[in-house]
């Protein structure tokens, strides 16, 4: 059992700290947001993550999980300091390190002797080496331990990971961090810090590239009369390809893939390497998002201009099972629809407030309301709730029974039997 400080109570820090407490460690999680700290100390989860609430309550009741305001009060008595701070993209795609640098400045002089700083958040290659210089402490080690948490599955991803990666410059530091996870049954890979940092960016960029590829294949399928679901299934039987991350969609997004792929691109550019393959994967994804919007406009009834039509959009979050709108492909597609003079009403089970900087977007409280008088309906997020809708009622509500299913969520035959014109993605 170790004394651990977790700096940052966001998607990564809250899951990391709560799960480390579940493993038996004595954990103090720090955040700058006093309201959030108060809510968490009262057992109120501030993000939508299945299983997190139970672990939070357990940690508080066991007395080995608490929340404080400010990094200093957490780090003062800890041996390990997990940095779980936001690493948002700068306009040029590089990583904004201001949250990290200010946290390091705040704690570097109060860290107890022989502390270990553990970089949990996704960071550009070379960050650990830079931080080592910044803290000017020969008795403090900096270890890279990237998170591989998918939103909506973060607790399981933490407690049952496909691997644990630890990047360190000393075997002693690596072993001390590995020991924190001794009760987790998985492979632990020890590397240098640069390799560990690059593993994280490479994993996300590769998954994003795989998605770009299947979305391009979906477009080709439409042109040659193939079915992308059959093609994805057929290639997925090959274990070298694997069947996951082959579901075509409107384009990929979220708080990680766009940020991590552009950060990796920046890292390569700064190192003097023109990473054309990754650049193309990113560009083609943007093109696919635009293509998705154009598909909706093209589906409008003959002679109906976008400016005189109403489009119902189902789904705003970046994927089902989360409440996260950050870099959501759904919002990007809707922006493109606005640029094509479309008028959009949208419904999402997890969104009931107007979207910042999207005042034109009408948010409805049910899917049926969004479908009311719509000339076309587009599925942008794969919420099961949308597959369970009463499509006879949807058809009655719409002006024209046209559905663009950008997630291939629905059954084409069922919709066509109900009188809909069904337009899928790659089928
Ligand atoms: C991702 C990585 O999966 C995770 O390992 C990493 O730690 C953080 O980034 P997350 O951002 O939560 O996790 O989203 P993920 O589930 O990977 O989906 C990313 C995007 O790809 C979403 O927009 C999703 O809709 C899309 N996607 C995913 C597809 O379009 N098709 C798929 O088959 C899978």
Residues in the chain: 427
Q: Report residue 236's pLDDT band, with 50, 70 and 90 as the boundaries.
A: very high
Ligand 1 centre to CA of 150 (Å) is 7
Probe ligand 1: pick from 120, 147, 209, 252, max atoms within 8 Å of CB? 252
Mean pLDDT, residues 194-221: 97
Give the residue extent of every domain in the chain.
3-191, 223-427
Average pLDDT, the chain: 96
Mean pLDDT, residues 382-410: 98
Mean pLDDT, residues 373-402: 98
Q: Report residue 395's pLDDT band, with 50, 70 and 90 as the boundaries.
A: very high
Mean pLDDT, residues 309-315: 97
For residue 46, pLDDT over 90 is answered with: no
Of 160, 164, 147, 23, the residue nearest 86 (C-alpha)? 147
Architecture of the domain spanning 223-427 = 3-Layer(aba) Sandwich (3.40)
Does the annotation mark 256 as catalytic? yes
Mean pLDDT, residues 286-314: 96
Probe ligand 1: pick from 158, 207, 231, 242, max atoms within 8 Å of CB? 207
Of 388, 243, 406, 242, the residue nearest 332 (C-alpha)? 406
Between vectors from CA 222 to CA 334 and to CA 338, what angle results, nearest 5°? 15
Mean pLDDT, residues 351-375: 95
Residue with tokens 């190192």: 271
Beta bridge partners of 256: none
Q: What is the C-alpha to C-alpha distance for residues 219 and 245, in angstroms, rounded to an integer?
A: 16
Q: What is the C-alpha to C-alpha distance for residues 333 and 292, in angstroms, rounded to an integer?
A: 7
**DSSP letters spanning 373-412:** T-SEEEE-S--HHHHTS-HHHHHHHSSS-EEEETT--S-H
For residue 48, pLDDT over 90 is answered with: no
What pTM was estimated for this model as a whole?
0.95
Pocket, ligand 1, Cβ cutoff 6 A: 147-151, 204, 207, 211, 245-247, 249, 252-257, 318-319, 329
Q: Report residue 150's pLDDT band, with 50, 70 and 90 as the boundaries.
A: very high
For 423, the 3-state DSSP assignment is: strand
Position in ligand 1 atom list of the atom nearest CA 146: 7
Q: What is the C-alpha to C-alpha distance for residues 183 and 161, in angstroms, rounded to an integer?
A: 12
pLDDT at 161: 98
Ligand 1 centre to CA of 45 (Å) is 22
Ligand 1 centre to CA of 115 (Å) is 34
Percent of the chain with pLDDT over 70: 100
Ligand 1 centre to CA of 198 (Å) is 18
Fold exhibited by the domain 3-191: Rossmann fold (3.40.50)
Residue with tokens 């080496």: 129
Of 82, 71, 85, 104, the residue nearest 3 (C-alpha)? 82
The total of other beta-carbon atoms located within 10 Å of residue 388's CB is 9
The residue annotated as part of the active site, out of 19, 84, 221, 256, is 256
Q: What is the C-alpha to C-alpha distance for residues 178 and 197, in angstroms, rounded to an integer?
A: 16
For residue 93, pLDDT over 90 is answered with: no
For 214, the 3-state DSSP assignment is: helix
Q: What is the C-alpha to C-alpha distance for residues 160 and 178, in angstroms, rounded to an integer?
A: 15
Position in ligand 1 atom list of the atom nearest CA 320: 25
Question: Rounded to whole angstroms, what are the CA distances from 304 to 13, 295, 335, 338, 360?
Answer: 49, 14, 20, 15, 20
Q: What is the C-alpha to C-alpha distance for residues 341 and 323, in angstroms, rounded to an integer?
A: 27
50-89, pLDDT tens digit by residue? 999 999 999 999 999 999 999 999 999 999 999 999 989 8
Mean pLDDT, residues 105-118: 97
- Ligand 1 atom 14 nearest Cα: 150
Q: What is the C-alpha to C-alpha distance for residues 80 and 140, in angstroms, rounded to an integer?
A: 10
Mean pLDDT, residues 273-302: 98
């Amino acid at each position: 059992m170790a004394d651990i400080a977790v700096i940052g109570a966001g998607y990564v820090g809250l899951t990391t700290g709560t799960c480390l407490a579940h493993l038996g460690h004595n954990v103090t999680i720090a955040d700058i947001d006093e309201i959030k700290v108060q809510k968490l100390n009262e057992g109120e989860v501030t993000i939508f993550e299945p299983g997190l609430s139970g672990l939070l309550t357990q940690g508080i009741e066991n007395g080995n999980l608490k929340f404080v305001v400010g990094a200093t009060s957490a780090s003062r008595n800890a041996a390990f300091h997990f940095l779980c701070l936001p690493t948002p993209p700068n306009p040029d795609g590089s990583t904004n390190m201001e949250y990290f640098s200010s946290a390091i400045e705040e704690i570097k002089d109060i860290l107890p002797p022989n502390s270990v700083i553990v970089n949990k958040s996704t960071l550009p290659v070379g960050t650990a080496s830079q931080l080592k210089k910044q803290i000017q402490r020969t008795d403090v080690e900096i270890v890279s331990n990237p998170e591989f948490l998918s939103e909506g599955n973060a607790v399981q991803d933490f407690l049952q990971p496909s691997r644990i990666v630890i990047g360190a410059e000393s075997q002693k530091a690596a072993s001390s961090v590995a020991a924190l996870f001794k009760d987790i049954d998985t492979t632990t890979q020890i590397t240098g810090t640069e390799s560990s940092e690059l593993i994280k960016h490479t994993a996300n960029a590769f998954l994003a590239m795989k998605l770009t590829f299947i979305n391009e294949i979906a477009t080709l399928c439409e042109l040659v009369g193939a079915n992308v679901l059959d093609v994805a299934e057929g290639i997925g039987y090959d274990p070298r390809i694997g069947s996951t991350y082959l579901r075509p969609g409107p384009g990929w997004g979220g708080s990680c893939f766009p940020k991590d792929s552009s950060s990796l691109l920046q890292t390569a550019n700064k190192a003097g390497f023109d990473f054309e393959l990754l650049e193309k994967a990113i560009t083609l994804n943007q093109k696919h998002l635009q293509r998705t919007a154009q598909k909706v406009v093209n589906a409008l009834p003959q002679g109906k201009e976008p400016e005189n039509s109403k489009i119902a959009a189902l789904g705003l979050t970046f994927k089902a099972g989360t409440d996260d709108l950050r870099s959501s492909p759904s919002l990007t597609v809707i922006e493109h629809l606005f640029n094509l003079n479309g008028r959009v009403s949208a419904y999402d089970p997890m969104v009931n407030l107007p979207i910042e900087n999207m005042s034109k977007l009408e948010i409805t409280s049910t899917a049926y309301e969004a479908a009311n008088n719509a000339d076309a309906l587009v599925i942008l997020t794969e919420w099961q709730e949308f597959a369970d809708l009463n499509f006879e009622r949807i058809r009655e509500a719409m002006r024209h029974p046209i559905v663009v299913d950008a997630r291939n969520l629905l059954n084409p035959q069922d919709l066509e039997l109900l009188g809909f014109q069904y337009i899928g993605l790659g089928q």
